[in-house]
Structure 1
Amino acid sequence: MKRLLPIVFVALLLPGPVLAVSDPSEMLPNPAQEKRAEALGSRLRCLVCQNESIEDSDASLARELRHILREHVAAGESDAEITRWMVARYGGFIRLEPAFNATTAMLWCMPVLALLFGLGIAVWSYRRASRRAAPAPALDAAEQARLDALLRGGSVER
């Protein structure tokens, strides 16, 4: 029993999936439709919280959006139709992942461009530094003789 207690304690501390659908009347009676509504709602942003999906938020606007979303799912609309309706009504900001179009192309491409820019700077700096590095001067006769003696394992006088 003493071995089980720490495991139970750690399991209670681990976060589990938490959805803000606290009222069972919000849920659709069809489990497949409810699962689809939850998946779609997790891709839509709460306009009050802004960094939470409408499924995770407990704001009143998110509750209303969940209700609207479930009405559309129950009516048999496709995910694309529901998303288009939400974007037309609330703007593109409602999507947690913005669509790739001319307006958002820079947003999607910026990580790759930043990486390429950083690699370009690194290569340029490396080449510039290697060009500036002067070659080591040649050894004079005394230094060469001393080096040869060291390589043969002999002692060297200074």
Structure 2
Amino acid sequence: MNSNPFYPIGIPGQAWGEYERKQWRARQSVQRRYAQDVVPRIEAMADQFDIVTYGQLDYADDIYPLFALRNGAHDPALPTAFVTGGVHGYETSGIMGALEFLETRAADYVGKINLLVAPCVSPGPTSALIVGITTRWIPIATSRQAAKRLSVPR
């Protein structure tokens, strides 16, 4: 067996305990913040779109408002398009893509469709301690998918 583990925390093949989770959290740094990276871009579009706060997410001792933007009153004669980004939160390309679409292309669809955009469906991990764009780990040092599979509280 390799005496040099590929990761500096824990023992390969053994589940992490609280000690390893504390080690992992201590190594992390905040990479992005919903309140600074997403919310101001949404608020800047208030003159172009109706901004709807449709709920909030309580996550890791923080509260995140959930926003959707729509291009005016619903017209039953038009088709409806629903665009989402940041469903898992850690996939920031979806969040940034939805915001960029709103900022640069959504005006092309005025009068053609009812547009509803939820640019960040799950903002908590966007602001959580995240190592990189594709990490699936959350502040309790558990994979979101593993937590779901194992019914671990998130």
Fold agreement, TM-score > 0.5: no
In terms of fraction of residues, the more strand-rich structure is: 2
In terms of fraction of residues, the more helix-rich structure is: 1
- With normalisation by structure 2, the TM-score equals 0.23
- With normalisation by structure 1, the TM-score equals 0.23
Relative contact order higher in (CA < 8 Å, ≥ 6 apart): 2
Bigger Cα Rg: 1
